């Protein structure tokens, strides 16, 4: 424990697409798009795309039809969550064999807290072990905290290692746009641009009181801190536990009758309730997602009176959340999510 502390962020490259290619080796080198039912003539969104498909501008979250227009030669496949979960478990088991605290962040990524004089060698050992056990490529970011390790992985891809610390933070990040930071999306970047803050360096030097006034007393100063690479969040070595269970459906024809919308919400809520029972943990909050035509997505949620796995309570919560929407516009997608209590 006398060796320096490092944080490694392990990220599996094009994970879902890579799993599909392992199952179908003949697809190697081809543009592969995974999502929905795998039929680009039907409504659905891209879950992931292989690097070959990304070269044509195909991105996660994009409608399958748009992906097909951008890359008509792509191979489209349906999502297979159980297969991805099984592979992910093997990867995480491999990571836990190293002398590290492992915090799993999802199917395809995890943080490792390690103590070593040579983090690059350890990172490459991790990559090699994952490759040998699962035949999957991974990238590893090395940092002196979680934020920097996470961002370093972007520079490591594909299948590489990169170190980002206080020593090279400004050299690497200063001139990059604010949405290059982990935690800042396009909407926040636009708000910052309205303040004439467009780069990481400009955000780091921004007046915290102005940021607090424009972006909120908590988030404004926090954005300034991450622009400086500051992060004190610990690595939590507990097994990965899902925070929620959700179900959603995309309609091939827009729903315009709100009575039908309510029926679909009830059906989704019942499926989610079954998932909650299977999880063995009560839900404390229910959220409804509505995607309006052409492609505007909104989410509303309600807290439940008490933690519960009862289908009736989850259904009632979903309907209460739905009431927060103004009926009338055409609906192309509906989703229901039950959140579990977090400690």
With CA atoms as reference, report the closest residue to 286 among 248, 319, 257, 327: 319
Q: How far apart are CA 232 and CA 258, in angstroms?
A: 47
What letters, b where the CB count within 10 A reaches 16 and e where it falls short, cover 81-110?
eeebeebbeebbebbeebebbbbbeebbbb
- Both structure tokens of 332: 């192309």
Q: What single string gives the DSSP state of each residue in 209-272?
A: HHHHHHH-TTHHHHHHHHHTT---PPP--SPP--SEEEEEEEEEEEE--HHHHHHHHHHHHHHH
The CA angle 90-92-95, to the nearest 5 degrees, is: 115
Write down the catalytic residue from 103, 109, 113, 202.
109
Mapped onto helix, strand or coil, the DSSP state of residue 185 is coil
Question: For residue 92, how many C-alpha atoms fall within 13 Å in the half-sphere facing its CB?
Answer: 21
Residue with tokens 């039929």: 39
Mapped onto helix, strand or coil, the DSSP state of residue 145 is coil
With CA atoms as reference, report the closest residue to 179 among 156, 160, 202, 198: 198
Where is 34: in which H helix or E strand?
strand 32-34
Q: Which residues contact 25 (CB under 8 A, 6 or more apart)?
A: none
- Both structure tokens of 242: 């899902």
The answer to whether residue 264 is catalytic is no
CB 142, CB 8: distance < 8 Å: yes
Give the catalytic positions in this structure.
109
């Amino acid at each position: 424990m006398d060796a320096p502390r490092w944080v490694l962020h392990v990220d599996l490259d094009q994970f879902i697409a890579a799993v599909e290619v392992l199952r179908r080796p003949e697809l190697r080198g081809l543009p592969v798009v995974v999502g929905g039912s795998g039929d680009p003539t039907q409504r659905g969104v891209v879950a992931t795309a292989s690097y070959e498909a990304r070269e044509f501008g195909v991105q996660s979250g994009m409608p399958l039809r748009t992906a097909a227009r951008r890359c008509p030669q792509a191979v489209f496949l349906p999502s297979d969550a159980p297969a991805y979960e099984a592979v992910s478990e093997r990867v995480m088991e491999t990571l836990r064999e190293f002398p590290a605290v492992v915090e799993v962040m999802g199917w395809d990524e995890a943080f490792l807290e390690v103590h070593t004089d040579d983090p690059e060698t350890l990172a490459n050992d991790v990559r090699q072990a994952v490759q040998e056990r699962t035949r999957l490529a991974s990238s590893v970011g090395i940092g002196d905290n979680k934020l920097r390790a996470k961002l370093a992985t972007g520079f490591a891809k594909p299948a590489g290692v990169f170190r980002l610390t206080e020593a090279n933070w400004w050299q690497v990040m200063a001139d990059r746009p604010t949405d290059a930071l982990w935690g800042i999306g396009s909407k926040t970047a636009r708000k910052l641009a309205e303040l004439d803050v467009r780069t990481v360096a400009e955000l780091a030097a921004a007046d915290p009181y102005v940021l607090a006034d424009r972006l909120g007393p908590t988030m404004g100063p926090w954005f300034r801190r991450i622009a400086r690479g500051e992060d004190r969040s610990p690595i939590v070595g507990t097994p990965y536990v899902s925070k929620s269970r959700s179900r959603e459906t995309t309609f091939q024809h827009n729903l315009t009758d709100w009575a039908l919308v309510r029926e679909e919400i009830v059906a989704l809520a019942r499926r989610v309730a079954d998932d909650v029972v299977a999880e063995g943990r009560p839900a404390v909050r229910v959220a409804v997602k509505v995607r309006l035509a052409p492609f505007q997505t909104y989410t509303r949620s309600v807290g439940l009176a008490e933690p519960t796995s009862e289908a009736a309570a989850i259904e009632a919560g979903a309907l209460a959340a739905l009431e927060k929407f103004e009926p009338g516009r055409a609906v192309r997608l509906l989703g229901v999510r039950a959140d579990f209590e977090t400690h």
